[in-house]
Structure 1
Amino acid sequence: MAAAVPHLMTLADLSAPQIHRILVHSHYLKQISLPWLQPGKLWKQKPSQSLDKKTVALLFSKRSTRTRVSAETAATLLGGQALFLGKEDIQLGVNESPRDTARVIGGMCQGIFARVGDHSEIEELAKYSPVPVLNALSSLWHPTQILADLLTLHEHAHLFSPNNVTEYKSIDDKRWTALPELRPLTVAYVGDSANVLHDMLVTYPRFGHSLRIASPENERYRAPKAVWDRVVELGCDKKIWWGADPKEAVHGADVVVTDTFISMGQEAEKEERLRDFQGYQVTEQLCKDGGANPDWKFLHCLPRKPHEVDDEVFYGPRSLVFPEADNRKWTIMSLFE
């Protein structure tokens, strides 16, 4: 019997050790690659060419900056090619089904990295694809974002544990830092229950982190049943607090996270959502009033709007948003390998 094709829909599909191995490999690939990419420098070790002569189809029905750039540059570094297929480029959604599209693309490419609308679309692609399908974003889940977030927190572990000691490993006579250990954190999320939060819910608690979430008292802003069932199945609910008060959510927080209040496709709800999320903007004052830890740090998946977080926080010393964006590349590169 042929082995099942490995797909990734959400980090809930992976065990904690599997996720940790991805993070370790991402950290290693980053250290291997960055010196090699420096202009004018000769570096004998270059990244593995594991995608040599191979093609990864980037099947994107939604626009993207970080996901597209990171996937294309990651595939190139591994010796392969990323083939971008936007919704205007192919027949999918016009006169060809996801089933037929998956079979055709999977017959010519060695992997599919899909950024879709409704989660059912990527499930159908995975059901019929003869090659691995990785979820680049869907209505329910965003696994690659949370891998980048975790890598960023590990790399900045010294900010949360000043006595953290860097461990070195030798590879081909070069010294590389091991993935820094990260103590259990309290992570606050202030905003809508969307795909980024959903993968946080099924991942952070399995690494010992506590989640404190604030969203308006309305079912539309809470985790859908399909997501919460996975949360409970993995036992993650025991380390999650969920309420409506942002100040209460940030109490004791080491990290504060927010995301868009208006996802793509929700533009018609903009005015209503902005009213519902009044008071949810992440600011120094909010976190001071709520009792966040004095050295709290900030994450956002981007793109950011000022009503989600003000400039003082977003561009200030607490912000890790740009290292977080950079790490999309290395975690996607690790998944491609």
Structure 2
Amino acid sequence: METIDMLKEQDLKGKDLLKLADFSIENINALVELAYDMKQNKEAYADSLKGQLLGMIFEKSSTRTRVSFEAAMIQLGGQGMFLSSNDTQLGRGETIEDTGKVLSGYLDGIMIRTHSHSRIEALAEAASIPVINGLTDLYHPCQALADLLTVYEIKGEFKGNKMVYVGDGNNVAHSLMIASVMVGMDFTLTAPKGYEPASEVVEIAKEIAKQTGAKVELTEDPKAAVKGADFIYTDVWTSMGQEEEAAERLKAFGPYQVNEDLMVLANPECKFMHCLPAHRGEEVSAGVMDGEASVVFQEAENRLHAQKAVLYSLMKK
């Protein structure tokens, strides 16, 4: 593929993936096409990371991130090593900077799932090997790449499509917003007052949109937001660490459930997306989650292929 050749020419080897906006628009498009090719031609990349080691630091629990990264390394001929903060010196006060320097002497790359985004920035600054964001409180870039791959598989293109995010303006929403406008897809986010995305992320997205011709819209009206939608996306209303706010959030987000009544306002072929885990009966009805419009499990599988593209690009010899 022409875009994959372009990615090779630009060479992302040794770089960090902390947020998508750190990469060029061409890089993001190329990563999606590479992920698509890797999904179709698994054996062609089987030994591309032979002998490479990825350390996977988890300071937040995970299903998809852990399994997809570990499986990705195995399928590429390398190995992923699970590192829980409870079982390492990180849990006893060793600094993230010291950890980065030590692990750089043992490994070929680090993936971390953590809390503050400043923490992964400190790790990347100290480490001499690629650092990949498996999730922070501000961004979830690998999820967004999987989302783009899913859109690409369904539509074959990005421009001319409208992505609508319904719910909390959180890390998933931030990365999805950036990802959508980078590939020229219109993006609308609808959330109740007080739960909007971070203003600095919105400004980044709007600046990128000027280059790609995409539109960025924020509204409190979910019914108006989904008109003309090709994809409707949501996430849980209460994320890890927000449990004390659960009752307040349930009340605020009640009108923002993605259900059959909301889906019917979108384009007839509109697809439903969710990063998972999902809470049926809260942010999404069971009928939508398990209905014909849902592509959530295709999207979940694509975490594996998007991660393989990232690992290949940053860690290949």
From 239, 242, 254, the equivalent of 1:278 is 254
2:18 maps to amino acid: M
- Contact between 1:140 and 1:227, CA under 8 Å: does it hold in 2? no
- Aligned residue number for residue 269 of structure 2: 295
- Aligned residue number for residue 161 of structure 2: 185
From 167, 175, 178, the equivalent of 1:199 is 175
1:71 maps to amino acid: F
In the alignment, structure 1 residue 130 sits paired with structure 2 residue 112: no
How many Å apart are 1:235 and its aligned residue? 3.7
Cα distance in 2, alignment partners of residues 181 and 232 from structure 1? 21
| Unmatched tracts of structure 2, length 5 or more | 1-11, 313-317
| Unmatched tracts of structure 1, length 5 or more | 34-44, 158-179
How many Å apart are 1:46 and its aligned residue? 4.7
2:129 maps to amino acid: V
Larger radius of gyration: 1
From 182, 193, 197, the equivalent of 1:223 is 197
- Contact between 1:256 and 1:297, CA under 8 Å: does it hold in 2? yes
In the alignment, structure 1 residue 250 sits paired with structure 2 residue 226: yes
From 19, 31, 36, the equivalent of 1:22 is 31
> Aligned Cα RMSD in Å?
1.7
In the alignment, structure 1 residue 9 sits paired with structure 2 residue 7: no
Q: Give 4+ residue runs of structure 1 displaced > 4 Å after superposition.
A: none
From 99, 102, 109, the equivalent of 1:101 is 99
Cα distance in 1, alignment partners of residues 154 and 260 from structure 2? 20
Bigger share in helix: 2
- Contact between 1:184 and 1:207, CA under 8 Å: does it hold in 2? no
From 98, 112, 116, the equivalent of 1:118 is 116
How many Å apart are 1:190 and its aligned residue? 0.6
Residues 212 and 287 (structure 1), Cα distance of their counterparts in 2 relative to 1, 3 Å cut: same
Cα distance in 2, alignment partners of residues 66 and 262 from structure 1? 18
- Aligned residue number for residue 333 of structure 1: 308
Cα distance in 2, alignment partners of residues 232 and 255 from structure 1? 20
Match of 1:92, SS?
A: helix
From 287, 297, 311, the equivalent of 1:322 is 297
Cα distance in 2, alignment partners of residues 17 and 148 from structure 1? 17
Q: TM-score, normalised by structure 1?
A: 0.85
Q: TM-score, normalised by structure 2?
A: 0.90
From 128, 140, 143, the equivalent of 2:141 is 143
Residues 310 and 99 (structure 1), Cα distance of their counterparts in 2 relative to 1, 3 Å cut: same
How many Å apart are 1:133 and its aligned residue? 0.2
In the alignment, structure 1 residue 311 sits paired with structure 2 residue 309: no
Cα distance in 1, alignment partners of residues 230 and 13 from structure 2? 40
1:235-273 deviations in Å (ceiling 9; x for gaps): 469611111111111111111000111110000100011
Cα distance in 1, alignment partners of residues 214 and 77 from structure 2? 43
Match of 2:147, SS?
A: helix
Residues 313 and 329 (structure 1), Cα distance of their counterparts in 2 relative to 1, 3 Å cut: same
1:52 maps to amino acid: K
Would you say how many aligned residue pairs link Structure 1 and Structure 2?
Answer: 298
Match of 1:146, SS?
A: helix
- Contact between 2:110 and 2:132, CA under 8 Å: does it hold in 1? yes
- Contact between 2:120 and 2:133, CA under 8 Å: does it hold in 1? yes
1:121-144 deviations in Å (ceiling 9; x for gaps): 101101101100010100010110
1:69-109 deviations in Å (ceiling 9; x for gaps): 11001000111110000121111142200000111111100
1:199-237 deviations in Å (ceiling 9; x for gaps): 12222123221112110112xx11224423422442469
How many Å apart are 1:183 and its aligned residue? 4.3
